[in-house]
A = this chain, B = another copy of it.
Amino acid sequence: MTPSVPAPSATTPSAAGPADLLITGCTALVHDEHEEIAFVEDASIVVRGGVIEAVTREARLPDAALRIDARGQVAMPGLINCHTHTPMVALRGIAEDLPAEEWFNDFIWPIESNLTERDVELGARLACAEMIRGGVTCFADHYFSMDAVAAVVSESGLRAHLGEAFFSSQGAEGREKSLEFALRQRGGAGGRITTALAPHAPYTVNAADLAATAALAREHGLPVHLHAAESRGQTDTSLARYGRTPIEILQRAGLLDNEPGLLIAHGTGIIERDLPVLAGASGPVAVATAPRGYLKFAWGPTPVRALREIGVPVGLATDGAASNNSLDVWESMALTSLVQKSTEGDPRWLTSRQALHHATLQSARAVGLGERIGSLAPGRRADIVLVDLSGPHTQPVHDLAATLVHSARSGDVTTTIVDGRVLMRDRELLTLDLPATVAELGERLPSLVDRGHGRRIQEYDT
């Protein structure tokens, strides 16, 4: 194990009666005052009222309603999936080895015109099961019928940042529905739900509607979550059609100055001239990167290094499982490191500690929760996962950060905790009925995947 590092977050637990949860004997991943990753060996974590009260090496610990002996395990902040479409797990594997245009137009958008609220609910439940199993404690979801997703968030115990997607093709109604959802669900599930306005993308939502979205966001104090500059092809098309990049379109719409924040999914088409535009944003802007899908679509990578240089956080994501085939944020962490080294031509870049910083604080900032989650520190919400490193593939440990990023896998997560509540323990899901979900979804698949009707919810034309 890495030599013990005194943790800046280690404080003495209070003596105010029994805690709700006490995790003992773990190696805790913490951040020092420079946000560098550090590890506290033989640590205990005290949780009270859904909040981390202490990360401590003290021997005197409070009683607790629940104690978890985590010897041999690493405790780390739960992973955050900064951009996904949970219900799309129902379409995992339905359209393989295709360019994005065919994937959208011939498969996904025809099939999505069949989606019912029940399909969305079942897909979201399956997705939440997958994410809890993979150590994800919070996800940003951008889809339709989001009330069904919100209900599953409530049931599953996960934390989520939800937005009801809309296209300009829906007229003003789509935007109004997105606003109504965001206002009504904000603060739901005991505060675990935050919300955003969710225009689909600059290529499906026109400039006037983006500007109207920015005005609504300002009026109601809502962040915005959308796709933009997904690929270099989109940027080229945008330049040819409008003389502006997608990022410049967001700027003109006022979305870069949204005080509650803007979350941009993908950004692999962000180019040099976009950097000063992003750097000049007066609101907090972040980018979510989902590297597996970019490789699969033969898109380039998100320009993580350039974004770092201008101070834009890059959170980790999986996109939907219909393109990415999984909601494995652990894999996104490893691939972000690997792909960035490769595309920058620099093996020293994007170290394991940098990857862990993306997975923790940068991802928390991306979903607007930079002060509440993303770190095992007193006062933060108790979103914690325990990772078993006793498997042969994670031994020996010369460099714990490298072990976590490059050797461990999502399947090594044994325990997933959100707001101090245990959602999975010893790999057993405690809040969701997986077999019933898989069975009912299986019955619904034939009508869900039917494309005989010839309808599409939208046309992909970047």
Binding site for B on A (CB under 8 A): 89-94, 96-100, 126-127, 129-130, 133-134, 292, 294-299, 321, 325-328, 337-339, 341-342, 344-349, 351-352, 390-393, 395-399, 402-403, 406-407, 409-412, 434, 438, 441-442, 445, 449
- A196 CB to closest chain B CB, in angstroms? 26
Q: Chain B residues near A344 (CB, 8 Å)?
A: 298
Are A351 and B96 touching (Cβ within 8 A)? yes
Are B298 and A97 touching (Cβ within 8 A)? no
- A401 CB to closest chain B CB, in angstroms? 8
Are A409 and B410 touching (Cβ within 8 A)? yes
Known: A342-B295, A347-B99. A328 touches B399 (CB 8 A): no
User: Which of B298, B325, B411 is close to A406, meaning CB atoms less than 8 Å apart?
Assistant: B325
9 A-B pairs, CB-CB below 8 angstroms?
A94-B399, A96-B399, A127-B392, A129-B392, A134-B393, A295-B339, A298-B341, A298-B346, A299-B342
Are A341 and B93 touching (Cβ within 8 A)? no
Are A398 and B91 touching (Cβ within 8 A)? yes
**Complex alpha-carbon distance, A126 and B295, angstroms:** 32
**Complex alpha-carbon distance, A129 and B236, angstroms:** 50
Are B99 and A434 touching (Cβ within 8 A)? no
Q: Chain B residues near A391 (CB, 8 Å)?
A: 130, 133
Are B438 and A338 touching (Cβ within 8 A)? no
Known: A94-B399, A98-B348. A393 touches B326 (CB 8 A): yes
- A212 CB to closest chain B CB, in angstroms? 35
Name 8 extra pairs, CB < 8 A, besides A93-B399, A298-B344, A398-B445: A89-B395, A90-B396, A97-B348, A133-B393, A298-B345, A325-B406, A327-B393, A393-B410
Q: Chain B residues near A339 (CB, 8 Å)?
A: 295
**Complex alpha-carbon distance, A370 and B366, angstroms:** 50
Q: Chain B residues near A393 (CB, 8 Å)?
A: 130, 133-134, 326-328, 410
Are A398 and B298 touching (Cβ within 8 A)? no
Known: A93-B407, A97-B352. A338 touches B295 (CB 8 A): yes
- A302 CB to closest chain B CB, in angstroms? 13
Known: A98-B347, A133-B391, A347-B97. A92 touches B407 (CB 8 A): yes
Q: Chain B residues near A90 (CB, 8 Å)?
A: 396
- A182 CB to closest chain B CB, in angstroms? 28
**Complex alpha-carbon distance, A141 and B361, angstroms:** 41
Q: Chain B residues near A406 (CB, 8 Å)?
A: 93, 96, 296, 325-326
Are B341 and A296 touching (Cβ within 8 A)? yes
- A438 CB to closest chain B CB, in angstroms? 5
Are A126 and B392 touching (Cβ within 8 A)? yes
Are B351 and A97 touching (Cβ within 8 A)? yes
User: Which of B94, B396, B407 is close to A445, meaning CB atoms less than 8 Å apart?
Assistant: B396
Are B328 and A396 touching (Cβ within 8 A)? no
Are A397 and B93 touching (Cβ within 8 A)? yes
Known: A326-B393, A409-B410. A298 touches B92 (CB 8 A): no
Are B94 and A392 touching (Cβ within 8 A)? no
Chain B: CB-nearest residue to A293: B338
Q: Chain B residues near A410 (CB, 8 Å)?
A: 393, 409
Known: A97-B348, A347-B97, A407-B93. A395 touches B126 (CB 8 A): yes
- A376 CB to closest chain B CB, in angstroms? 22
User: Which of B133, B351, B397 is close to A392, meaning CB atoms less than 8 Å apart?
Assistant: B133
Q: Chain B residues near A298 (CB, 8 Å)?
A: 341-342, 344-347
Chain B: CB-nearest residue to A351: B97
Q: Which of A126, A347, A411, A442 has the most CB of B within 10 A?
A: A347
Q: Chain B residues near A352 (CB, 8 Å)?
A: 96-97
Are A392 and B295 touching (Cβ within 8 A)? no
**Complex alpha-carbon distance, A395 and B321, angstroms:** 10
- A32 CB to closest chain B CB, in angstroms? 19
- A363 CB to closest chain B CB, in angstroms? 20
Q: Chain B residues near A348 (CB, 8 Å)?
A: 97-99
Chain B: CB-nearest residue to A94: B398
Are A392 and B130 touching (Cβ within 8 A)? yes
Q: Chain B residues near A412 (CB, 8 Å)?
A: 411
**Complex alpha-carbon distance, A224 and B320, angstroms:** 45
- A136 CB to closest chain B CB, in angstroms? 11
**Complex alpha-carbon distance, A434 and B349, angstroms:** 34
Q: Chain B residues near A398 (CB, 8 Å)?
A: 91-94, 445, 449
